Structure 1
C-alpha cells in the first residue's frame, strides 16, 4: 500500500506507518535472538557468547552497507513526495546497482579480515573458533540481508510499511524453524544458526521483489538502469555519510566490546545477553526515527516545512511514552529475561545478575535515544546527512575516551556509563543542528513567498496604453 505522507494528521500518519515497521523490527531482533537462545539451549553458553562476540563487528560491516541503502532511499522518498515518478524509478535502479557493488567489495573484505578483527577485540580463546566461523558465514551471505533491507527501504519510501512487515513475519517463522532443525536436530552449531538466518532473509527479499513488481510506480525498465552519474552523485552524497555514521558508531561499540572482553569471560557473556535485550527495547525509538525519515523526505519534496516540525514533535512525544513503559519492564523483569536467554544454567547466576544490571541501567536512559532518533532522522530526511555523520564521530570520541578510562575505576559499570554518555553528547549536537536547519529553511521559504507575492502584484498592474516591452 502506497501512502502519501504530505496530507492528513502527522500523528496518525506516523503511527500508521511506524507500527507495522516496529513490529517488523522487533520480529527481526527476535529472530536474531532466536539464533542465540536456540544455540545457548542446544549447544551451550560458550556458543551463545561466541555469536555475541561478533555482534559489534557485524554491526560495523552490515551497518555500513545498510547506511548506504538508507541514504539512497531518502532521494527516492523526496522524488515520490514531489510526484516525480520517472526520477524515482531511476533512483531505485541506481540504488540497486550501487548496493550490488558495495556488497561484493565489503563482504569480501570483511570475511577475509574477521579473524584479525576479533583478535584485536581481545575475544577470549574459548569463543574464537565459533565466532570466526559464524562471522564468515554471515559475511558470505550479507547480500541477502542488504537486498532485503534495500527492497524494504524502497517500499517504505513510497509509504508502504505493511508488506515489509509481512516479509519479516514469514522470515521469522522460517528462521526459527530452520534454527531448530539445523541446531537441535542436525547439530550444526553456530554454523546452522547463520545458515538458517541467510535462507530466511532470501525468502523475505523475494517476497518484497514480488510486491514491487505488482506496483506500477515501482516497475523498472531497461532505460531506468542506464547510468545517470548526476543522480549517482546525489545518492552517494546522501548514502556515504549515513554509512560512515553507522560504521563510526559501530567502531565505538567494537572498542567497547574489546574492553568488556578484557574484563573476563563472565562479562563477555553478560554483555552479549544484555545487548540482545537492549537492542530490542531500542527498536521503538529507531523505528519511529525511520518513519520520520520518510515523512520528512516526502514533506520536504512537497515544500511543507510546518508539517515536518509537527511530525518531529509528535514523534518525540510517542517515544517518551514508550521509553517510560520499557524502562519499567526492565526494572521488574530484567533478571528472568536474562535467565531465559542464557538458559538458567546453575553456574550462570553471576552472568544473569550482570546482564540484568546492564539492561536496567541502559533502560533508564532510553529517553535520550527517544530524542536522538527523531532529530537525526529528520535531518537525514531533509538530505542533511553531514551533521548526523559528525555526531556519530562525537559519539565515537566520547565512547572511546570514557570506555578506556572509567572501567579502570568502575569496572563493568564504567562500560555502561560510557555508552549512555556517548548517546547524550550526540543528541545535544543533533538538537542544535536540527533547529539551525529548520530556521534556515523557514527563512528561505519566507523569502520565496515574499518574492512570489511581489511577482504576482507586478503581474496585476495594468499595462500603460501605448507602451511596449
Structure 2
C-alpha cells in the first residue's frame, strides 16, 4: 500500500493521473477475481480473501514502481535514494499528518456524539458519514488536479498563472459541490433503503442528509483550496488552521449531544466546521505568503 501511494504521488507530481487510474482499476478487478477463486473456488474463507487482496496490491505496487523507475531513468536519475529529498518529504509530511488528524478527529467526535442518540440515529449517522466520505473522494478529484497544477505553476515561477488557476479551480469546486448537493437532495428519501430496511434509521437519516447536501457547495470550495495550498507546500498553515477549526467545532458537536438535539443539528455543526475551514483557507489564498515561487 505504501509503495502504491508513493508511486501514485510521484506520477501525480508529473501530471500523470491516467496511469494510477488504470492500474488501480485492473488491481481491483484482479482482487475480485482472486477473492471469488480463493474463497469460493478453493474454500479458503477469510484467509483467501486476504491473500487475494495482498496479491492484487503487490501487482499494483510492482506495476506503478516499474513505471516510476522507467521514467526516472529516462530523466537521467540514478535511482539511488536521495537522503536530503527523503528528509524534505518527511518534513513536509508531518504538518499534513497533523492536518489530516484534525479532520479524522472531527469525524470521530461526531460518531461519539451520535452514539449518545441511540442505535437507529447512530446507524443513520454511519450511513451519512459513508456518503460524505464518498462525496469527499469525488470532490477531492478537483482538489488533486489543483494540487498538481499549483505545484507546476509555482515551480515555474508563475504567480499570476497560479492565481488564475486557483480562481478556475474554485469555480469547478463550487460547481461540483452544487451537483453533489442536488443529487443528494434528490436521493435523500431513497438512499437509506440501499443500506437497511429499518424505517427508524430512514427517519433519522433523511433530515441529516438534507443538511449534508446543503454543505456540499462549501465543501467543494474547501477541498479545492485545501488542494491548492497542499500543492504550494503550505502544510504548516493547514495544520494550525485545522487545529483551530477543530477547537471551534468540538463545543458545537458536544452541545448537540448534551441537548439531545438529534442528527440534523449534529451535521449542522459539521456544516459550521466546513464553513470555518472555508474562512481560514479563503483568507490564506487571498494573501501572498503561500505563493513561494521556484527558480
**Which residue of 76, 96, 101 corresponds with 1:247?**
101
User: Within 2, Cα distance between the matches of 1:199 and 1:274?
Assistant: 32
Q: Does 1:383 align with 2:233?
A: yes
User: Within 1, Cα distance between the matches of 2:144 and 2:282?
Assistant: 17
Alpha-carbon RMSD across the aligned residues, in angstroms, is: 2.9
Aligned to 1:429: 280
Distance change (3 Å), C-alpha of 1:441 and 1:160: closer
SS in 1 for 2:16: coil
User: Within 2, Cα distance between the matches of 1:340 and 1:219?
Assistant: 52
Q: Does 1:147 align with 2:10?
A: no
Equivalent positions of 1:231-380 (< 5 A) are 231-342=85-196, 345=197, 348-380=198-230
1:265, distance to aligned residue in structure 2 (A): 2.3
1:244, distance to aligned residue in structure 2 (A): 0.8
Distance change (3 Å), C-alpha of 1:165 and 1:332: same
Distance change (3 Å), C-alpha of 1:234 and 1:278: same
Question: Is the CA contact 2:229–2:235 (under 8 Å) kept in the aligned structure 1?
Answer: yes
Aligned to 1:416: 267
User: Within 1, Cα distance between the matches of 2:190 and 2:39?
Assistant: 24
Aligned to 2:83: 227
User: Within 1, Cα distance between the matches of 2:4 and 2:105?
Assistant: 24
User: Within 2, Cα distance between the matches of 1:361 and 1:194?
Assistant: 38
SS in 1 for 2:106: helix
- Larger Rg, first or second structure (1 or 2): 1
Question: Is the CA contact 2:177–2:221 (under 8 Å) kept in the aligned structure 1?
Answer: no
User: Within 1, Cα distance between the matches of 2:38 and 2:199?
Assistant: 29
1:366, distance to aligned residue in structure 2 (A): 0.8
- Alignment TM-score, normalising by the size of structure 1: 0.56
User: Within 2, Cα distance between the matches of 1:397 and 1:187?
Assistant: 47
Question: Is the CA contact 2:24–2:60 (under 8 Å) kept in the aligned structure 1?
Answer: yes
User: Within 2, Cα distance between the matches of 1:366 and 1:282?
Assistant: 9
Q: Which runs of 5+ in 2 are unaligned?
A: none
Distance change (3 Å), C-alpha of 1:263 and 1:247: same
User: Within 1, Cα distance between the matches of 2:188 and 2:81?
Assistant: 50
1:300, distance to aligned residue in structure 2 (A): 1.0
Aligned to 2:57: 201
Distance change (3 Å), C-alpha of 1:177 and 1:339: farther
User: Within 1, Cα distance between the matches of 2:52 and 2:231?
Assistant: 34
User: Within 1, Cα distance between the matches of 2:78 and 2:273?
Assistant: 45
Count the aligned residue pairs: 292
Q: Does 1:392 align with 2:216?
A: no
